[in-house]
Homo-oligomer: A and B are copies of this chain.
Amino acid sequence: MWLNEPVKVLDTQAQAQAEARQTQLTKPAGSLGALERLAIRLAAMQGKHKPNMQQAWISVFAADHGLAETGVSAFPQQVTAQMVQNFISGGAAITVLARQHQAPFEVVDVGVKADFANQPGLVVDKVGYGTANALTQPAMTQAECQQALEVGKRAAERAVQAGASCFIGGEMGIANTASSSLLLACLMQTDIAPLVGAGTGLDSAGVQHKTDILQQVLAFHSSTLNQAQPLDILACVGGFEIAALAGAYLRCAQLGLPVLVDGVITTSAALVANAMAPQAKDWWIFSHLSVEPAHKIALDFLGVKPLLQLDLRLGEGSGAAIAWPLLQQACVLHNQMATFAEASVSSGA
């Protein structure tokens, strides 16, 4: 069973070498802050004292949610399929960013409530036509949940196969902040109300309605959710694209491919994977702090600090793509700066 394979262990020798190198570069010690820490982490992941970030790989997982029927999103459900077409046609934010960064890009239909013509850039790996409405039944069966995790596993393996330096996962699915809030409440065992936000743009009445619905969902499934395992929670209130992301993040950690995590929905997938394999988060770099209120709570729960805080709340993997140049810059600074000895510069007192 692939889910139980061990997470790759970080290379502490390469990490120590990178730490030592940072102290010798021509700058006051520590003065490149988060970029120094990034270079050192990437060295430990790649097992090289001079890590390289040559190419990001971007997989966006798209799926529909039965919960959309309950009016928890500001956008109609058909927007999921419309946006899949927009990703492929090149007009969506994440596609623009993929082009800008020359990153291989694919949209994975893991469960959209529509069919698409075969097109370059589209991977059809469908588990179903949207999840069931979690208000009245589990969102997925256990079998569907396993299949969706495997969709993510396959995407991670394609990225490794292509020689990617970093995996960026994105998501599209109308109502998926609702699913994300449900997952976070169950996994962190906290009240859901502080975890519910405006998503794509609900007003305060909309947020209240969303909160009411999500509380009903939790009440309906309370006997199942009480003391449930992570995968039971995922099947009960998750989404196909979130399960795929969890599978991808876990597989990246098993295979040793660094991950750039995006916003609140991808972080909820990370929490699922973290509950299954706590070491996996060594391989994940959190790109930004979203405006969605649940995101800070989830990041604090994981004990991680994101790189950026730019008031983003788009999803699609866009925040991770926006952070990608920081990883590249961290590496070129680490690799190409001269040491005090090389440059004949006096070091500090």
* A interface residues with partner B (beta carbon < 8 Å): 25-35, 74-76, 78-79, 82-83, 85-86, 89-93, 96-97, 99-100, 199-201, 291, 307-314, 318, 322, 325-326, 328-329, 332-333, 336-338, 342-349
In the assembled complex, the Cα of A183 lies from the Cα of B349 at a distance in Å of: 26
> Given B28, B82, B309, B333, which contacts A200 in the complex, CB threshold below 8 Å?
B28
In the assembly, how many copies of this chain are there? 2
In the assembled complex, the Cα of A30 lies from the Cα of B35 at a distance in Å of: 28
Chain B's nearest CB lies how many Å from the CB of A51?
A: 15
The reply to whether B307 and A307 form a contact with Cβ atoms under 8 Å apart is no
The reply to whether A343 and B82 form a contact with Cβ atoms under 8 Å apart is yes
Contacts of A31 in B (CB 8 A): 200-201, 312-314
In the assembled complex, the Cα of A263 lies from the Cα of B34 at a distance in Å of: 15
Q: A96-B337, A325-B325, A338-B92 are in contact. Are A74 and B313 (CB under 8 A)?
A: no
Chain B's nearest CB lies how many Å from the CB of A144?
A: 27
Contacts of A314 in B (CB 8 A): 27-28, 31-32
Contacts of A33 in B (CB 8 A): 291, 310-313
Q: A96-B332, A97-B333 are in contact. Are A91 and B26 (CB under 8 A)?
A: yes
Determine which residue in A33, A75, A328 has the highest number of CB atoms from chain B within 10 A of its CB, and name it.
Answer: A33
The reply to whether B26 and A333 form a contact with Cβ atoms under 8 Å apart is no
The reply to whether B96 and A348 form a contact with Cβ atoms under 8 Å apart is no
Chain B's nearest CB lies how many Å from the CB of A200?
A: 4
The reply to whether B332 and A92 form a contact with Cβ atoms under 8 Å apart is no
Nearest B-chain residue to A339, judged by Cβ:
B91
Q: A201-B348, A332-B100, A346-B79 are in contact. Are A310 and B91 (CB under 8 A)?
A: no
The reply to whether B89 and A322 form a contact with Cβ atoms under 8 Å apart is no
19 A-B residue pairings within 8 Å (CB atoms): A26-B86, A26-B91, A28-B313, A30-B311, A31-B200, A31-B313, A33-B291, A33-B311, A35-B312, A82-B344, A82-B346, A86-B343, A89-B338, A90-B336, A91-B336, A99-B336, A307-B310, A309-B309, A322-B326
Chain B's nearest CB lies how many Å from the CB of A31?
A: 4
Contacts of A79 in B (CB 8 A): 345-346
Q: Assuming A30-B311, A33-B312, what are 11 further A-B pairs, CB within 8 angstroms?
A: A26-B93, A28-B75, A29-B201, A33-B311, A74-B348, A75-B349, A85-B343, A89-B338, A92-B337, A97-B329, A100-B332
Contacts of A35 in B (CB 8 A): 310, 312, 322
Nearest B-chain residue to A336, judged by Cβ:
B96
